[in-house]
Amino acid sequence: MSRSRKGYKSPRLLKNPKRQRYYLLTIGLTILPGMFVGSMIAKYLAHFLDTTGLFSPEELDDYED
């Protein structure tokens, strides 16, 4: 019982895949909004922590001699 190799091609015979025309633009349009949204979330979270007093840098002076 042998397995059929229908459609099998050597890797040397395969063609290179086509590149998208504007692949750098698509990468930029997906990464840049994510970075912007992440930075806005971090900014608002830092402001929230500062105003509520959950994290205040003044309390970190305990380690000084």
Task: For 18-63, write each residue's pLDDT tens digit.
Answer: 888 898 999 999 999 999 999 999 999 999 988 888 876 665 555 6
User: What DSSP character marks residue 61?
Assistant: G
Give the per-residue pLDDT at 32: 96
Domains of the chain, by residue range, sit at: 23-56
More confident residue, 1 or 60: 60
Q: Which residues contact 55 (CB under 8 A, 6 or more apart)?
A: 49
Give the per-residue pLDDT at 18: 83
Amino acid identity of residue 29, one-letter, is: L
Give the per-residue pLDDT at 5: 56
Tokens at 8, concatenated: 């099998």
